[in-house]
Structures are given as structure tokens and as C-alpha cells.
Amino acid sequence: MPRKAVVNRRKCAYCGACIAVCPVDANELVETYLEIYEDKCNGCGLCSKVCPMGALAMVEVE
């Protein structure tokens, strides 16, 4: 099953680390919050490795 990155907005500190490493431009800091575009995310997990807050989880989707 494919994996996707999912953000826990209560943990996210709006830092931009995950944007800097996403190879497919699948995420964005929209003014005050993080948006992940599920259709673009390839499940590589790099963003969750770089997140200083542990706010990103990789979950399996259908």
C-alpha cells in the first residue's frame, strides 16, 4: 500500500524544514500552516526525517 505524509498540526511549528527537502514539491507553508498535497506526495518520508518537531507521520493509504 502506498504511503503518504500526514502532519500533526498541533505539533508543527511552521519551520519549513519539510519543504526544503521534498523532492516533488508536494508541500507548502501557506501563510500560517503546513499543507501537504496528497496527490503529489510520493511517500518518500524525507520530510518526516527532517522535521524537528516529529510532527510528520507516514501513513498507509488505499
Partner 1 sequence: MYDVVVIGAGPAGSMAAKTAAELGLSVLLVEKRQEIGTPVRCAEGISKENIEQFFEVDKKWIAAEVTGAKIYAPDKTEVVMSEEMAGNEVGYVLERKIFDRHIARLAAKAGAEVYVKTTAVDFERKDGKVKVRLRRLGEDWEVEAKILIGADGVESKVGRRAGIIKTLRMDEVESCAQYLLTGLDIDERYTYFYLGREVAPGGYAWIFPKGDGSANVGIGVLPKIAKKPAKEYLDAFIEREGIEGKIVEFVAGAVPVYGEIGTAVSDNIMLAGDAAYHSDPITGGGIANALSAGYYAGKVAAEAVEKNDFSAEFLRMYDNLWKNDFGKKLRRNKKLQEKFLEMSDETINKLAASISGKNLKEMSVRAIVTELLKAHPKLLLDLKDVFM
What residues line the site for ligand SF4 (CB under 6 A)? 5, 7, 12-18, 21-22, 24, 26-27, 34, 36, 41-47, 51-53, 55-56
Strand, helix or coil for residue 36:
strand
Asked if 29 and 46 count as a contact pair (C-beta separation under 8 A), the reply is no
* Least distance from ligand SF4 to the Cβ atom of residue 62, Å: 17
Asked if 20 and 47 count as a contact pair (C-beta separation under 8 A), the reply is no
46 near partner 1, rule: CB under 8 A: yes
* Least distance from partner 1 to the Cβ atom of residue 40, Å: 13
14 near partner 1, rule: CB under 8 A: yes
